[in-house]
Chains A and B, each alone.
Chain A
């Protein structure tokens, strides 16, 4: 600006001199005024242009703590270089403890590279608040909504969120070269096996997968060894035998929570129903001729073929919730049949090995029993690895050897439970970009640029390392190609990788409550506890559960005004 100011002053002085002379005519004064105005505009434009190039120069020279930043300095992104220099803040909304410190570090690294963009990591306390807040803010116009969000916590189907213009379809974006990864697009920079999860029911890409999430058992190897158990169990029968030995040795065999709102046995129930009813799944996928069918959906679903020995057969398949209810109504799945009897008996047996007070003990307290060495095993998810690693360090000489094992099989093959059980195996950190194109297109461009930065192998590595060091949740193995973790961490995380991801929706045909209402969950839990505590027989329990399913599913059908014919307009 200094050059421009000098020129302005010079022109101004000249005009001043002219005025003093007082010899020029009116026409000449008008002409000189016009010329002066043109010169001033040109000078200002020149100054601004010079300022921009200066800023860019400064950015390129900015120090950076990560390799991603260095890469970006060599080849700055198109979007970044086009971005105006006005300072702006973009907001990345996440849940407490989920990569919180890692994301803050990434935000700092990005800000060093792009001083004009501040990335604020907004931490929300829990999932319901996250969902309600996003939906409310977007419904109110989106001005106050975060710019980058977790797609799996947005409170509606990804397809609907795109339709409502709440999140952006990322079809073209993920194929763009990523300047922070030597031009390798997000599409090529992320493990290709998990892109099918990223499609909405209309065939749009709605998120970029960052990691995998899984559920399983953590176990205290020392306590197992003390009780004479040398191997982690792989079948329910072996697990119960091990738990009995542990109980006899004076420790709590398994800690988990069944407190309303945190009940982690829901994942087990989901895995069992998926195992028992998996063969019926093709009936709930959108089919040609359906009202919900589109060419994109047809292209995806046409590849889906059920095979008992292929646990990955349904990855990315698009479901029809109306078909799910139609399947329930058809009675093809026997809600009081042999499969139901077997897995509920198994869960009742399991309840005998749980910590006293499991029905009202929080997950945090259940975990404390495990980390304090009072419980030999703990049922939870891969996101707990970071916390356990940190706590083990704090325990010093009281630290114990630990490992993980998967949701078990049955020892004797049962035709009602074909092949092996599946567990939760989905991208956990699903990054989506809020559709604020009408609010501030420039901020959207900056958000997109930050996501590219986050998905560079170097910065993703920083996020992982920082998160683990802080003892926070990494949800599971990274899906960003090139991210390496220590063998120790990998051994724990890969212990959760099951063969395939269970379909959680299929549970609705056996257990009802399609909307997952909190009060109905409590009602169902009360029923389960009556059975576990021998107040009702298995037959009575299944009968009451079937009635509960009928009540909640019928309400759901009525609420949605479905005729259960997938060919009619929804």
Chain B
């Protein structure tokens, strides 16, 4: 860059400096530190270089492997939930007549986004409560007392109770993405298809679905990232229990670092999660670039 241009934009650069300093200090620097510490045995006071030992321990640890398996269940079901249910909702609202009703439904689905996440989690914790929870109370009310259950406290149902969290799974962001995309479709083409004899199902499968592929990709990658990072929900609902039946790598990372002062091991798990997310993101970006 020439000196004259640098001088010309000096004020702009000067204003950008604080932002970059903050980003580097609080985002990049900790990540770099975590990479370094993942090769150490570090308890905040002493640090010893141990090479790949943390990673070796991680992949031979039965708790971590259980957590990884659970994570696979969470991620796959999270993707399915994010791909299917908001799409169905968006399609249904798009189909119903009357702008006012559309607006009303749209707002109804978006409004819960304003609730802090922890409120929703605590609400579901109460829904599942074995003694006073909504589900068990409903079962008792309809005479199905024998079906009442400690939904989160029994390892046969706990992981599926977490999967079922948030039913009917119409998350605001995917819903908005789908709805905006459907609204942006070429309605003349769809009309032409209908005139040619295509029914609604055919329009949906042959026209909408192919058109929405970029949205599917975006939602998939966003869901994978949030699913792998999900810690609060599991911490509040079950703390990974009963035993280890609902734990996941993020939970194990937290326990190692903040429950046992194994910051090196915790960093190794964090770095592994980071790499998994990074690989999937690159894969997705490349995939998107090829097609569009």
**Interface set of A (CB-CB < 8 Å, partner B):** 128-129, 131-132, 135-136, 139, 155, 252, 258-262, 355-362, 365, 369, 374, 515-520, 522-523, 525-530, 533
CB contact between A155 and one of B153, B242, B261 (< 8 Å): that residue? B261
Whether the Cβ atoms of B242 and A356 lie closer than 8 Å is no
Residues of B contacting A522 with CB < 8 Å? Answer: 63, 240-241, 243-244, 247, 255
Q: Distance (Å) between the CB of B186 and the closest chain A CB?
A: 51
Whether the Cβ atoms of A519 and B245 lie closer than 8 Å is no
Whether the Cβ atoms of B131 and A360 lie closer than 8 Å is no
B224 at interface (Cβ–Cβ under 8 A)? no
Q: Distance (Å) between the CB of A233 and the closest chain B CB?
A: 24
Q: Distance (Å) between the CB of A516 and the closest chain B CB?
A: 7
What 0/1 readout, one digit per residue, does chain B (224-252) give for beta carbons within 8 Å of chain A?
00000000000001111111110100001
B258 at interface (Cβ–Cβ under 8 A)? yes
B78 at interface (Cβ–Cβ under 8 A)? no
Q: Distance (Å) between the CB of A41 and the closest chain B CB?
A: 48
Known: A357-B153, A526-B242. A132 touches B129 (CB 8 A): no
Which A-chain residue is minimally distant from B236 (CB atoms)? A362
Which B-chain residue is minimally distant from A155 (CB atoms)? B261
B14 at interface (Cβ–Cβ under 8 A)? no
Top 4 nearest A-B pairs (CB, nearest first) are: A526-B243, A357-B153, A518-B259, A357-B150
Whether the Cβ atoms of B241 and A518 lie closer than 8 Å is no
**Interface set of B (CB-CB < 8 Å, partner A):** 43-45, 61-63, 129-131, 149-155, 158, 237-245, 247, 252, 255-256, 258-262
Within the assembled complex, what's the spacing in Å between the Cα atoms of A114 and B155?
58
Whether the Cβ atoms of A357 and B44 lie closer than 8 Å is no
Which B-chain residue is minimally distant from A551 (CB atoms)? B62
Which B-chain residue is minimally distant from A369 (CB atoms)? B131
CB contact between B63 and one of A131, A155, A261, A523 (< 8 Å): that residue? A523
Whether the Cβ atoms of A128 and B259 lie closer than 8 Å is yes
10 more A-B contacts (CB under 8 A) besides A261-B255, A356-B153, A515-B260?
A135-B43, A139-B44, A260-B243, A357-B153, A360-B150, A360-B158, A519-B61, A523-B62, A526-B155, A533-B155
Whether the Cβ atoms of A361 and B153 lie closer than 8 Å is yes
Within the assembled complex, what's the spacing in Å between the Cα atoms of A529 and B45?
36
Residues of B contacting A529 with CB < 8 Å? Answer: 155, 242-243
Within the assembled complex, what's the spacing in Å between the Cα atoms of A520 and B154?
20
Which B-chain residue is minimally distant from A515 (CB atoms)? B260
Whether the Cβ atoms of A525 and B261 lie closer than 8 Å is no
Which A-chain residue is minimally distant from B258 (CB atoms)? A128
Residues of B contacting A132 with CB < 8 Å? Answer: 44, 258, 261
Known: A155-B261, A360-B152, A519-B255. A252 touches B242 (CB 8 A): no
Residues of B contacting A362 with CB < 8 Å? Answer: 239
Within the assembled complex, what's the spacing in Å between the Cα atoms of A259 and B152?
11
Within the assembled complex, what's the spacing in Å between the Cα atoms of A526 and B158?
13
Whether the Cβ atoms of A360 and B44 lie closer than 8 Å is no
Which B-chain residue is minimally distant from A137 (CB atoms)? B44
Q: Distance (Å) between the CB of A55 and the closest chain B CB?
A: 41
Known: A259-B239, A360-B239. A519 touches B44 (CB 8 A): no
Whether the Cβ atoms of A357 and B241 lie closer than 8 Å is no
Whether the Cβ atoms of B262 and A527 lie closer than 8 Å is no
Residues of B contacting A528 with CB < 8 Å? Answer: 243
CB contact between B259 and one of A139, A261, A358, A361 (< 8 Å): that residue? A261
